[in-house]
Structure 1
Amino acid sequence: MGILFEDGNFALFRDGFLRTVELSAISAVLAMLLGIVLAAFRVSPVPALRAFGTVWVNTFRNTPLTLLFFAVVFGLPRLDVHLEPFTFAVLALSAYSGSFVCEVLRSGINTVPLGQAEAARSLGMNFGQTLGLVILPQAVRAVMGPMSSIFIALPRNSAVAGAFSVPELFNVQATLTDKGYAIFGIFFWIAIAYLIISFGVQQLFSFAEKRLAVAR
């Protein structure tokens, strides 16, 4: 268990931990923004937008994350798109998680009574105003639980990036394995680090859920 404090390993774990947090945080923000846009497309009165949203969600939700990483990391350079491995990882994670955010938000939108939208339209609001000011705030409040599950899973999903030259937390195990350390000790500390991140995300959503709760 002393592996963490031997031969500069603490700095290695620390850097991997912070890189995982950074990767997860940026991907989470982009996934949320993408999910909101896609959810708006899914409920849009414009058929082309609904079709685009449906195709995007069905494609990315049903594509294994590792395969998506392969497509982004090796496919985009063939289209003359050259980025850092970290940026490729953010794109893959955001596209993947955004599709799940979209469906959670869409389910929340469907729980909002139709009368809310009708009342907004009677006040002269257009579709964008109705969705952004009336429907989405109520939908988000209704889906905080399922939404938290997506973002708790995101740091664990980011472990795939370690196989694509991103020096994140899970990538640390390859370095330490090469040094000859026991695999059990390595994965023990990595598991503890992921638990800390997941607990932090859970607490953030618990706080947000309490703040958004409607007084009864």
Structure 2
Amino acid sequence: MTRRIGSGKLVIATHNAGKLKEISALLAPHGLDCISAGSLGLPEPPETGKTFVENALLKARAAAEASGIPALADDSGLSVAALDGRPGVYTADWAERQWFEGEPGRDWYMAMGKVEGLLQAMGADTPRDAWFSCVLALAWPDGEYLVYEGRVDGNLTWPPRGELGFGYDPLFIPEGRTQTFAEIDPSEKHAISHRADAFAKLVADQFSA
């Protein structure tokens, strides 16, 4: 039988206020009081995993063990079929500026350019199939855990289009649509996204009658 979180406190293993707000809103109807790892002063563990599952589990386990409270973490990113699944777990790393590229931080246009440059180098007929993945890891302080995986398939376009999304959204056209994630209304995007898919599985498993 699936272990249930029940109601009460849940640590969201993030230091990102926006992510805490989004996840809290998704879980609020189920009686959970979500608090961030950042607000508890918990350190962010190095994401040394080779897969989304490994990285999500690293974060969830670290937060649960340090706080003594069940914890939820996510790891997500873009995978491109022609690039053997890259950038994958290195999705954010591809946006990190090097010392000669200006102030430290993430440059998502640069990251999108890297993807496009690699595809163009492979030839005009290179398939542009891609997918976004989201893994949610739920961990308890005693070491037990559950994993929920979400995915949305689509293809890439160039040049980037839209101002509504973030990250690689201006490149990605979900299957069955003509607009990029950055052109679709955020509420509509959240209903069809990889994160929505993963959360639907978590909710069905944890809170269904």
TM-score, length-scaled by structure 2: 0.28
Higher relative contact order (CA 8 A, sep 6+): 1
Structure number with larger C-alpha Rg: 1
TM-score (norm 1): 0.27
- Bigger helix share: 1
